[in-house]
Amino acid sequence: MSIGVKAALAWLLLLAVMLVNGAARVLLLQPRLGEDLARQCASLTGVAWVLLVSWLLVRGSPEASTSQLWWVGVGWLAATVAFEVLFGRYLSGMSWDALLADYAILRGRLWALILVSVCLGPRLWGAIGGRRRVGRGASGLI
């Protein structure tokens, strides 16, 4: 199986895990901690989930080069933001202000940390694992 197919499947797993993480935030954390603290806790657990899925992908893809892992992260980031906008705006009917509020780090919103981990997670684990630096590049993803 190619790294592109593995990356797409891993992103679908990531989507499912993050939807469960969000549901746990709303149903379990928010009633006990309030919205702001619940969002912060869920963001931190979200980063942990992203890093775990990234690790699983890298571990299961020994053939992937660092450049391929970089492009996986960029692709995951694009898919995540696209999903957030399409789902949030067009399916849930959220306003642009509500969507952009999650990016307000100075107001305690930590969503940006999840996006950073989505983008850098695969490459980070590749570097930790001593992945080769020269690879097939972005064209090897497909």
Q: What is the pLDDT of residue 132?
A: 58
Lookup: tokens for 88: 């949030």
CA-based torsion, 2, 3, 4, 5: positive or negative: positive
Determine the Cα angle at 110 with ends 108 and 113, to 5°: 145
- pTM score of the predicted model: 0.85
The predicted pLDDT at position 92 comes to 87
How many Å apart are CA 26 and CA 24, to the nearest integer? 6
The number of distinct structural domains making up the chain is: 1
Q: Count of CB atoms within 10 A of residue 60's CB?
A: 13
| Blockwise average pLDDT, block size 10, the chain, 142 residues | 94 97 97 95 97 96 92 97 92 88 89 96 90 50 43
Quote the pLDDT of residue 142: 40
57 vs 75: CA distance, rounded Å: 14
CA dihedral 60, 55, 81, 114 (to 10 degrees): 170
Residue 138, pLDDT score: 45
Q: Which domain holds residue 16?
A: 3-141
Tokens (6 digits) for 21: 């993480």
